[in-house]
Amino acid sequence: MAAKEELYAKVTPRRQRQSRPSTIKHGSTLDVLLSMGFPKTRALKALVSTGGKNVQAACDWLFSHVDDPFLDDPLPREYVLYLRPSGPLLQQLSHFWQQSRLSCGKNKAHNIFPHITLCQFFMCADGKVEALTDALQTTVAKWKGRIPMPLPLELYTSSTFIGLFVEEQMAEVLKSFASDFATEATAKADVHVEPHKKQLHVTLAYHFQASHLPILEKLAKTVDVSSGCDWLAVLFSRDIRFANHETLQVMYPYVPQNDDELELVPGDFIFMSSVEQSSASEGWLYGTSLGSGLSGLLPENYVNRADESDTWVVHGSLLIVCTSSFVFFFALWINDVVFKVQVPTSQSSLSKMRLFVCRHGERMDVVFGKHWITQCFDSKGRYIRSNLNMPSSLPARIGGHRDYDKDCPITVFGSTQARLVGEALLESHTTIDFVYCSPSLRCIQTAQHILQGLQQEGKTKIRVEPGLFEWTKWVAGTCLPVWIPPTELAAANLSVDTTYRPHIPISKLAVSETYDTYISRSFQVTREILSESKGLGNTVLIVAHASSLEACTRQIQGLSPQNSKDFVQVVRKIPYLGFCACEEMGETGVWQLVDPPILPLTHGPNHSFNWREMLIQD
C-alpha cells in the first residue's frame, strides 16, 4: 500500500509543465507503431489506453495527447477483475438503475455498472498487460465447465445498502477462480492481485438518503434474481491519476479565451479534483481532459456529471458461466479477437432468431462533396465519372439527376466494403433469410453487394422499408428525398422485392420529426420485421444508417432510449459497414447484443467499430 500511496502522491496535476514532443495482443501492432517512429513507452501507453484495439486507435490517441504533460511518465494503470451479468438479468438491473435514478436521483452505486467484484484494484506496467490478459485467458480455460449454474443471488437491504448477495457455497467457488487468476497474474505478469475476501455481491444502491430506502427497496424487489444470466469475467483498467476524481462529460464545444482555459470537445470526459477547485472562480471548474491529457479551467454549464466507469478501458471479456439454454459457444473476447469453442447444447438452440444491423458503405457526397453532381452530369443529364472511385454507371431517375442530391449512391470502395462483409458472412457459414433496407439508394446498393459476397444475389430479395430511413431531422431542406421506386430499382438490376408492402409507407414519414418519433418509428418497424420473419427464417439483415445500429437494437433488449445527445455521440462513432448482431433469448421475446459472426472492417481514417463499446451501456 505504501508504494501505491507514493505513486498517487506523484500524480498531483501539474499546470506549468508543458512538453511538446515532436491486444492486449500487442505483437505486430506494437511493431507497426515502432516502425512509425513512436518511442516504445509511448506506443505501449497508447495501446494500453485504447484497449489494444488497433494501430489507428493508438495513433489517434498519441496525436491527441501530444501535449499531455504525463505522456512520458512511466505511471502504470490500475486494473480490476469483475464478473458482469448479461441477458435478462442485466435488462432488469438496467431497468432498476434507470428507475432508481429517476425516483431518487443518483447514488454511489450508479458510478459503476452492475457487477461482482472478484479482486481489488492492482497496478500493472504497460509492458506486462499482454501477459496479464494471457493470465485471464489461461484461468478461464482452466475453469471452463467447473462453475455450477445458475448463480444463486439473494436480496439484502439495510438502512444504507441494497444488494444481491451470492450464495455462500457458490461464492467460495468464485473466490477460488479469482485466486487462480491472482496466481496466474503473478507468474505471468509479475503483479500482485488481492482476491476479494468480503461477501460477493451485486451492489444495487448505497450512500442514498434515508428517506429513499422504501422506494429503492420496493424497486429492488421487482428484480427477478432467477432470470437467465450469463456471467462474463471482464478485465478493466483506469488511469490512477484520476482514481479519486469526479468524472464529467462534455456536452458543448468550448474554445479557450485565455491561456489557462481548456478546450472542450463534445463527448470527451473531464476529471475534476476537489483539491483543484480552490483556484476556480464561481461558474468555472478546473479539470483534466481524458481526450488530450491537458488541464485547465472550463465553464461549469458546459459539462454534466458522468459515471466513473464511463472512462474505463476493457482489456478482456470472457464468458465463464452460461445459464441460457440456447448458448452453444464458449466465447472468448480479447482485444477485438473472438475465439469460440463449441460445447454441447439442445437442438432448439440451432433455431434461435438473429438480427444483424449494418450501416451502408462509403457515400459519394461525403468523399467528393456536394458538387459531385455538377462535375459528373453534363447539360443533357448524362453521367460521366471523374474519378476511379466513382461508379462506372448510375440508375436513371425519372425526376432527373438532381434527385441524387439527397439520395446519393455509394462509391466503388463502398461497393467493395459491402462485398467484403458478404464474403466474411459466407466464410462464417452464415445464411441470410431476409434482407430489409432503408429506401436510400446507398443502403440498397450496399445490401446488393453484401448479397453478392454471400453468393445470395437473386436468391434473396431486398425488401425496401421506408420505416428504416434515418432521423428525418438530419435531412437538409423542407422535403424528404425522392427515392427510386422498387420497380425502377428492379429494372436497374437490383435484387428488390417489388411485391413487398412496407410496414411504414413513405407517406407516413414527416420532415423534421422529433427524436422520440424517430426512436418510436425504428422500434416499431424492427418489432414488426422480426414478427413477420419469425417461423419463416432464423436470420434477418437490416441495411440502413449509422443511427439504425442503436435505434433498431436498444429497445428490443428491453432498454429505454438514450437521450438525444448521447444518441448522437454513439452515431458519430459508427463507421461505414458498422455491423452489430442481436439474438433472441429463447422464446422470451427479449433480445441481447452478441458478437457478430464477422470481424470489424476498417478502411482509411475510419475508426474500427466495436459493438461492445458503442452499444452496450449500463
- Decide if 545 is catalytic: yes
Active site residue 95: no
Catalytic: which of 84, 354, 419, 545? 545
For the ranges 216-220, 276-280, 330-334, the maximum mean pLDDT occurs at 216-220
The predicted-structure confidence for 88-98, as pLDDT tens digits, reads as follows: 888 888 889 88
Lowest mean pLDDT among 229-233, 244-248, 464-468: 229-233
Q: Cα–Cα distances in Å, from 340 out to 86, 136, 141, 236, 430?
A: 18, 16, 12, 22, 15
Q: Give the residue-averaged pLDDT of 498-507.
A: 92
Q: Looking at the predicted structure, is the pLDDT value of residue 473 above 50?
A: yes
- Output the DSSP codes for 536-554: T-SEEEEEE-TTHHHHTTT
What pLDDT was estimated at residue 601? 87
**DSSP code for 561:** P
What are all long-range contacts of 476-480, with beta carbons under 8 Å and residues at least 24 apart?
476/406, 477/406, 478/511, 479/511, 480/406, 480/506, 480/509, 480/511
pLDDT of residue 9 exceeding 50? no
State yes or no: pLDDT of 464 exceeds 80: yes
Q: Which of 354, 359, 449, 554 is catalytic?
A: 359
The answer to whether the CB of 443 falls within 8 A of the CB of 437 is yes
Instruction: Using the predicted structure, report yes or no on whether residue 516 has a pLDDT greater than 60.
Output: yes
pLDDT at 325 over 60: no
**Among 439, 438, 436, 435, residue whose Cα is nearest residue 403:** 439
The rounded mean pLDDT for the chain is 85
How far does CA 518 lie from the centroid of its chain?
Answer: 21
pTM tops 0.95, yes or no: no
For residue 5, is pLDDT > 50?
no
Give residue 247's pLDDT band: very low, low, confident or very high (50, 70, 90): very high
* Across 21-48, average pLDDT: 76
What is the model's pLDDT at position 613? 73
Q: Is the pLDDT of residue 16 over 80?
A: no
Q: What is the pLDDT of residue 337?
A: 41
Question: Is 360 marked active-site?
Answer: yes
Structure confidence at residue 10 as a pLDDT band (50, 70, 90): very low
Catalytic residue among 42, 201, 315, 360: 360
Q: So what's the pLDDT on residue 346?
A: 36
Percent of the chain with pLDDT strictly greater than 70: 88
Query: Among the listed ranges 28-37, 123-132, 303-312, which one has the minimum average pLDDT value?
Result: 28-37
**pLDDT score of 324:** 47
Q: Does 612 belong to an annotated binding site?
A: no
Cα–Cα distance list, 541 to 172, 249, 272, 443 (Å): 43, 34, 44, 12
